[in-house]
Amino acid sequence: MLVNRRTALKQALVVSAGLALLPACLRKTAPASITLKNIAVDSEGESMLALLADTLIPTTSTPGAKDVKAHLFALTMVDDCFKKEDQQQWTAGMKAFSELSEKKTGKSFEKSTPEARAALLGELEKAKAEDGGAAYFYHATKRLIIQGYTTSEYFLTKVQVYELVPARFHGSIPVKPASRRTA
């Protein structure tokens, strides 16, 4: 009787461990590539943000916002620095943005054409952030992506070289004699 009870307990433990791991195995979307504590964004949301960043500041002869990971900066700022209410409004706006893209183009933001994406962003540019929803999400995210790009290592070392105050000391500069002015 004792052997059967041990076997039954082992089997119950294995089954309960399997049931505990089952939701993680059935998860359809992968988590974001960075750890977020306060907001829930999956890999699909992160790729949509990366495409939004690339649409705002595209890659040309210089790296774009996606290349310098400005979208991850935006996610981190929303997660760490926004108030709880603003985080909820941003997350709801992200969902509204995806739904608006589906409604306007018939496709997700990622699958729509660059022209359709530009048209959608042009429409949201005219809307005010106070309107809420997709407009709030777009304006807040645009501001953070631009901030992330302009504070990136690439931008500060290659585009706008930052010099620490009071700047460089030039100790040996030839001085030309002043010309006299006649009145």
Task: Give the start-to-end residue ranges of the domains of the chain.
Answer: 48-159
Stretch 123-135: mean pLDDT, rounded? 82
Q: 105-118, pLDDT tens digit by residue?
A: 888 888 888 888 88
Q: In sequence order, what are the residues at sequence separation of 6 or more whose Cβ sits closer than 8 angstroms to the Cβ of residue 123? A: 104
Higher pLDDT, 143 or 179: 143
CB-CB contact of 141 with 76 (8 Å) = no
Is pLDDT above 90 for 172? Answer: no
Percent of the chain with pLDDT over 70: 90
Q: What is the pLDDT of residue 34?
A: 74
CA torsion sign for 135, 136, 141, 144 is positive
Task: Dump pLDDT digits (tens) for 30-79.
Answer: 666 677 787 888 878 888 899 999 999 998 998 999 999 999 999 989 88
Is the pLDDT confidence value at 145 over 90? yes
How does the average pLDDT of the chain come out, rounded?
A: 83
The pLDDT value recorded for residue 147 is 95
